[in-house]
């Protein structure tokens, strides 16, 4: 996995807990103090409308996915472009990153 090769400590839900509900995934990320990376907009609803905790940050990727290797390279590059993900709900789009504090 490209993120692991780039030195990131990654827990991939498909490996560790396939089929887990989003609320369980979010709770685990919170408990393990992990930044949650996702392509699923539902996590924003869990945090902003249902009030679930996510103080370590969420990055929602809204980028084209032409192939797995290209997508992996882009995710690694986006994550490496900043160091202020903690405590933010971030939306990474093709040419911009929008951030909103979670607290």
Rounded to whole angstroms, the Cα distance separating 101 from 85 reads 10
Structure tokens at 31: 């408990």
Residue 4: Cβ-neighbour burial (10 angstroms; 0-12, 13-18, 19+): exposed
- Residue 80 CB coordination number (10 Å): 11
pLDDT at 83: 94
What tens digit of pLDDT does each residue of 66-97 get?
A: 898 999 999 999 999 999 999 999 999 989 99
- Which residues on neighbouring strands pair with residue 91, listed in sequence order? 60, 98
Q: Which domain holds residue 41?
A: 2-101
103 has pLDDT over 90 = no
Rounded to whole angstroms, the Cα distance separating 6 from 2 reads 6
pLDDT at 65: 83
pLDDT at 14: 87
Overall domain count for the chain: 1
Ramachandran region of residue 57, left (φ > 0), alpha (ψ -120 to 50) or beta?
left
pTM: 0.92
Strands 97-101 vs 88-93: parallel, antiparallel or unpaired: antiparallel
């Amino acid at each position: 996995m490209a993120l692991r090769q780039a030195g990131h400590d990654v827990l991939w839900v498909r490996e560790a807990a396939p089929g887990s509900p989003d609320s369980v995934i979010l709770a685990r990320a919170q408990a393990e103090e992990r930044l949650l990376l996702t392509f699923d907009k539902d996590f924003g609803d869990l945090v902003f409308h249902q009030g679930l905790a996510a103080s370590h940050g969420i990055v929602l990727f809204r980028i084209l996915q032409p192939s797995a290797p290209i997508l992996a390279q882009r995710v690694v590059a986006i994550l490496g472009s900043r160091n202020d993900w903690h405590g933010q709900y971030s939306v990474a789009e093709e040419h911009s990153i929008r951030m909103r504090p979670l607290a």
